[in-house]
Every structure is written in structure tokens, then in C-alpha cells.
Amino acid sequence: MKYRSRHPRIKILAALLLVVAVLIALVVLVHVNVTKVLKAIAEANMRSITTVAVNDAIYYTLSDGVRYEDLVHVSRGERGEISSITSDPLQINRIARDAAYMSQQNLQTMSEEGVDVPLGAFFGIEAWAGFGPPIHMKIIPISNVSCSFVSRFESAGINQTKHSIYLEIVADISIIMPSGTSNFASLTEVLICESVLVGDVPDTYLQADIFGKGYSLAPPVSREPA
């Protein structure tokens, strides 16, 4: 009799354990899907913010205008042939430093406003991610901005070579949210100046970059979520 009285209890306990396991699995599934959607939305917003922040920094840094002669010095021999092409390290470092600093400041200021996430995103279904009233979310961006100059040579005609100088800004972003952390990198390349060089350019310069590694700005100290 005792054995028969315990048998229904075992079935009920097994059923309850099964229900609990199913509920836990559903909660985990929803959490994973919600986290995925929220990360995608936050990353898309931060990419847009990063693009604006970097472009504004470049515009501010180069507002006075930069000429080819300000960055590069071309030396010629007695017959007019190009003997050397050198860069001005002071100008290069100043522009790279200012662009990196301004980008960092713009990113920090613009990201403090947070992002608006539609209510549908919290259901974890991508098709619903754009529906519903916006819910404001605070995010903590941790960024590392590096700037470098890149030069490229290409033929511009008979005995002529076009020398183009670009400023590359790479922003490595880490977004810390209640739902998790997302990491991505954003590359912005801007043509600074260019010039057509008349005469043979030594292969040493055609096959290598005349600029250094650039300037990197360390990430700021992170803050606790608001």
C-alpha cells in the first residue's frame, strides 16, 4: 500500500520537473534571442554614431586645410630626378593626435545619450525588432581610436606618378549593456591631399609607405551603468 501511494507522487514530481525544465529552456532561449537582437540594434546605432563622430573630428582637425607640401618633401637630383620622398613627422603626429583625440571626445559625448530600442526587440524576434514604442537604454562604450597616414602611388601618365595621402581612423568599440557586451571596429578613410610627381619615383617608395604607424589613443576609464 505504501508503494502504491508513492507511485502517483513520483509521477507528479516528474511532471513538475519536466515543466520546470521546459520553462528554464524557454527562458534561456528567449534571453539568448533578446540579447542577440539588442546587441545588433545597439551595434548599428553605435556604428552610425561612430561615423558621425569621426567625420566631425576630421572636419574640425583639417578645417584650416592641408597641402601636399605641408606633409611631404620631395628632393630631386641635379637632372630633376626624384631622389627622396620624406614626410614631416611633426605635422603628421599633430594631425593624427588631434583627429584621434577629437574622435574619442565626440564618441564619448554622443554615446552618453544612449540608444532607443523598439519594444518589439525585447521579444527576441528579429521581425518584430522595429515595432513598438522606443525604450531608452543606457550603454557604456569603451573605445580605442587610432589614426595613421597611408600613402599610395599610381601611374598618372608617361613618366608621371600620382601620390595620394589618406588619413585612416580605426575605432575599436566595446559596448557594455545589461544584455551583454558587443565588440566591433569601424574604419574611416579620408583623402587628405595628392600630387602628381613628374619623373621616375624610386622603387623603394613605390613598394613601401613613407609614414609611420600613426597615433593611438588609449580607451578611457569605464564607468558603471546608469
pLDDT tens string, the chain, 226 residues long: the values are 444 555 677 777 777 887 777 778 766 665 666 677 777 777 787 888 888 888 888 888 888 778 888 888 888 887 777 888 888 888 888 888 888 888 888 888 887 777 777 766 666 566 556 666 777 777 777 778 888 888 888 888 788 888 888 888 888 887 777 666 778 888 888 888 888 888 877 777 676 667 755 555 544 433 333 3
Residue 123 backbone dihedrals phi, psi, to 5 degrees: -90, -10
Instruction: Supply the pTM of this predicted model.
Output: 0.66
96 located within any domain: yes
- Write down the pLDDT at residue 65: 78
In whole angstroms, give the CA distance from residue 103 to residue 105.
Answer: 5
CA torsion 43-44-47-51 (nearest 10°) is: -160
DSSP characters over 36-55: HHHHHHHHHHHHHHHHHHHH
35 located within any domain: no
203 located within any domain: yes
CA torsion 192-198-199-204 (nearest 10°) is: 0
Given the C-alpha cell 569621426, which residue does it identify?
54
What's the domain range around 181?
44-115+138-217
How many domains, the chain?
1
- Write down the pLDDT at residue 219: 46
Sign of CA dihedral 151, 218, 170, 59: negative
196 located within any domain: yes
The three grid cell numbers given for residue 214, joined into one nine-digit string: 600613426
104 located within any domain: yes
In whole angstroms, give the CA distance from residue 222 to residue 25.
Answer: 34
- With beta carbons less than 8 A apart as the criterion, state whether 86 and 103 touch: no
DSSP characters over 119-163: GGGGGT-GGGTT-S-EEEE--EEEEEEEEEEEEEEEEEETTEEEE
